[in-house]
Structure formats: structure tokens, C-alpha cells
Structure 1
């Protein structure tokens, strides 16, 4: 994924949910701190952006994202990447993580802005979850 693609996702998600503050909690949150040119290809290889909202207690906004522009949607088929609506409770984050969020806001993301995990917090969250997709393939 590129920053331009992240901006597109932020723009689309914020318009659909009418919420400019899009929390980016998955691996692509690294793009809030670094451009794709500064990172190894493995760091930006995902075509999925995990998006959540602080003001979404019943997960209506996350569900709307999935239904309208999530995986296997017209958006996904047309662009080759997509947002996945998730809950803030999806992740396990270290104390103080909200104070370290990195704001990624550009003219291309308007009216949205990404509230991205700080890179160290992202790595810790991945290590805690340690899902199969987060483990290196040593085959």
C-alpha cells in the first residue's frame, strides 16, 4: 500500500461514516509515520487498512465501512485495496497508546484524517496478537 492509497481510503471512509477521525490500527498505520519508499516492501504489502472509530460504541460505522467499501466490494475490485471496519477493542495496545497516535492528514485524505498507531505501539500490538498472518513465512 502507498500513502496515496491510504489517503484514498481515509477520504472514502470518512465520507461514508461522516466521521473525519479514522483510527488506523493495523500494519498499514506505519504509513502515518513513514512513506512507502522508506520501508521494506513487506511492511506495506497488505492491501487492507484496519479502520476503527472512537465514537462507534455499537460498531455501526465499522459495519458500514465493511458493507459499502470493504473486502470484495466494488471499491476493492476497482482499486485492489480496501478498508476493514474493526472495533477499537480488536487490538491490545500498551498503556498510553492514544497519547502517541500519529496524525496523518493531507489534502488527499480530506475530509478524513488518519489517527495512526505510533510504530512501536503497532509492533507491540502485532506481537501480542501474534496471528498467523503476522508470523514470518520460513518455508
Structure 2
């Protein structure tokens, strides 16, 4: 996915939901914190933007987005990418993540504004999810030198997760982060 495509999704999601404040919590949040030309292909491979709304307690807005511009919608058919409406609670995130959001507010997003996870927070959430594609995403960013393994390790330490998951995350960062472990 390209930054221009992300902005298009933000614009469309804002129109569909009638809400300009959009949170991007999936892998394509990386497009807010790191210039697209610096990203490895594995970081921009997804054609899906996970969008949530801060004021959506019953996920009504997320459901509207799914129906209008989600997977297999006419929007998806026409453009080749789509939004998936999700809940803010979908991702497990490190403490303080809201204070580190990256604002994407351009002519291409209006009337919407995207609040995208800071790259390290995005990687931590992907490591928690732990699917093969999530681990490949995280490894590609580490290998490209675009995220700091020490910051990832520090943020992993702030998670409120089961001890077994915390150990899996610490082992991953020790293996892939050049021996960094906290």
C-alpha cells in the first residue's frame, strides 16, 4: 500500500462514518511514521487498512465502514485496497500509545484525520498478534533499521498480558533484535 492509498481510505472512511477522527491500528499505520520510500516491501504488502473510531462504543461506525468500503465491496473491487472497520480494543498496545499517535491530516484525508500508531507501538501490537505475516512485518522493519529493538523491548515491558505471552515477546525481541532483552 502507498501513502496516497491510505489517505484515500481515511477520506472515504470519514465520509462513510460521518466522523473525521480515525484511528489506524493495523500494519499500514506504519505509513504515518516512516516515509513510504524507506519501507521494505513486507511493511507495505497489505492492501487492508484497519480503522477504528474513538467514539464508537457499539462498533456501529466500524460496521458501516466494513459494509461500504470493506473487503469485497465495490470500493475494494475498484481500487484494489480496502478498509476493515475494527474496535479500538482490537489491538493490544503498550502503555502510553495514545500520547504517541502520528497525525495524518492532509488535503488527501479531508474531511478525515488519521491518527496512526507510532511505528514501535505498531510493531508491538503485531508481535502480540503473532501471526506469521505480523512477525514478518516486524522482522522486515528491524532488518531495515527502521525501528529500535531497545524501544520495542521497553514497550513490551509495559504490556498487560499473560506471562507466557510476555515471555514469547521477550524471546522474539532477544532473537531478532540483536540480543536486546528486558
Query: What value does the CA root-mean-square deviation take over the aligned residues?
Result: 1.2
How many residue pairs get aligned? The number is: 137
Q: 1:129, CA displacement in angstroms?
A: 1.4
Q: SS of the residue aligned with 1:115?
A: strand
TM, length-normalised to structure 1: 0.95
8 Å CA contact 2:34–2:119 kept in 1: the answer is: no
Q: Give 2:161's aligned residue.
A: none
Structure with larger RCO (C-alpha < 8 A, sep 6+): 1
Larger Rg: 2
Using the alignment, how far apart are the partners of 1:59 and 1:25 within structure 2? 15
TM, length-normalised to structure 2: 0.73
Q: SS of the residue aligned with 1:55?
A: coil
Q: Give 1:94's aligned residue.
A: 94
Q: 1:133, CA displacement in angstroms?
A: 2.9
Identify unmatched segments of 5+ residues in structure 2: 137-182
Identify unmatched segments of 5+ residues in structure 1: none
Q: 1:54, CA displacement in angstroms?
A: 0.8
Q: Give 1:41's aligned residue.
A: 41
Give structure 1 regions of 4+ aligned residues with deviation exceeding 3 angstroms.
none
